[in-house]
Amino acid sequence: MMRGYQCPDCGYVYDEQRGEPHEGYAAGTLWADLPESFTCPDCAVREKADFIELSEQPS
């Protein structure tokens, strides 16, 4: 099951199913496989540890 993780500052959602190709993370890249140094690609304020796991897949 793919999941999503949301930045609490700007609302950006990392969707495991989509990945983040512009940042070098292919579709299907699991959250657990992102480096601890991952920062929000939209606001660059929050780090991986700050993201909130979403209970439902974002649309």
Confidence of residue 1 (pLDDT cuts 50, 70, 90): low
| Burial (CB count <10 Å: 0-12, 13-18, 19+), residue 56 | exposed
Please determine, looking at this structure, whether the domain spanning 1-59 carries the CATH number 3.90.950.10: no
Tokens 């990945």 appear where?
A: 19
Judge contact between 19 and 25, C-beta under 8 A. Answer: yes
- Residues β-bridged to residue 20: 25
pTM for the structure as a whole: 0.85
Tokens of 57: 């897949």
What separation in angstroms does the CA of 12 have from each of 4, 8, 43?
Answer: 10, 8, 8
Q: What is the pLDDT of residue 2?
A: 73
Q: What is the pLDDT of residue 56?
A: 60
